[in-house]
Chains A and B, each alone.
Chain A
Amino acid sequence: AQSVTQPDIHITVSEGASLELRCNYSYGATPYLFWYVQSPGQGLQLLLKYFSGDTLVQGIKGFEAEFKRSQSSFNLRKPSVHWSDAAEYFCAVGAQGGYNKLIFGAGTRLAVHP
Chain B
Amino acid sequence: DVKVTQSSRYLVKRTGEKVFLECVQDMDHENMFWYRQDPGLGLRLIYFSYDVKMKEKGDIPEGYSVSREKKERFSLILESASTNQTSMYLCASNGQVPPQHFGDGTRLSIL
Contact = CB atoms under 8 A, between A and B. Distances in A.
Contact of A106 (B31, B40, B90): B40
A101 B48 contact: yes
Interface in A46-74: 46, 49
Given A42-B105, A43-B103, A43-B104, A94 B42 contact: no
Interface stretch (B62-70, B71-79, B92-100): B92-100
B12 interface: no
Q: Which of A46, A101, A105 gathers the greatest number of chain B CB atoms within 10 Å?
A: A101
A90 to B, nearest CB: 6
Contacts of B50: 99
Interface residues of B, number: 29
Q: Which of A34, A49, A99 gathers the greatest number of chain B CB atoms within 10 Å?
A: A99
Nearest to B106: A43
B61 to A, nearest CB: 14
Contacts of B27: none
A25 interface: no
B40 to A, nearest CB: 6
A49 B98 contact: yes
Given A101-B33, A101-B45, A105-B42, 10 more contacts: A44-B90, A90-B43, A94-B98, A100-B31, A100-B97, A102-B98, A104-B35, A104-B43, A106-B40, A106-B41
Interface of A: 4, 9, 32, 34, 36, 41-46, 49, 90, 94, 99-102, 104-107
> Which 6 interchain pairs have the tightest Cβ spacing?
A43-B102, A104-B42, A104-B43, A106-B42, A44-B102, A43-B104
9 contacts: A34-B98, A41-B104, A41-B105, A43-B4, A44-B102, A99-B31, A102-B45, A105-B42, A106-B40
